[in-house]
Amino acid sequence: MITSFFKTGESKIELLQATNPDSTIAKFIEKKGEGIHHLAFEVQDIDKEIERLKKEGFEMIHKTPKDGADNKRIAFLHPKSTNGVLIEICQEKK
């Protein structure tokens, strides 16, 4: 996958290009077409935020953070619990 970041003010846009036809991104584009894949929100403590979200009833795709792009630890919320929108939470690696 090829990843490019564009910063505008305090926000950052990440563009993804699939390089493998079997990748998650390629399958998403094949099924739904080009467009927004997910929204990401930076948090101060990702481990605590995952626990808080689970207690609030959100379904997590990742029960523990994993390494992501741009020197971040990431976790995704399942779209079933966010009205169909894939949500990522992320924290800068220390």
Would you place residue 11 in the very low, low, confident or very high pLDDT band (cuts 50, 70, 90)? confident
Return the pLDDT at 34. 85
Angle CA 37–38–43, to nearest 5: 160
With 0-12 / 13-18 / 19 or more C-beta atoms within 10 angstroms meaning exposed / middle / buried, residue 85 is: exposed
What does residue 29 show for φ and ψ, rounded to 5 degrees?
Answer: -65, -40
CATH number of 38-94, picked from 3.40.50.300, 3.40.630.30, 3.40.720.10, 3.10.180.10:
3.10.180.10
* Domain parsing of the chain, residue ranges: 1-36, 38-94
Greatest CA separation found in the chain?
A: 37
Quick: pLDDT tens for 33-83: 888 888 999 999 999 999 999 999 999 999 999 999 889 999 999 999 999
d(CA 76, CA 34): 20
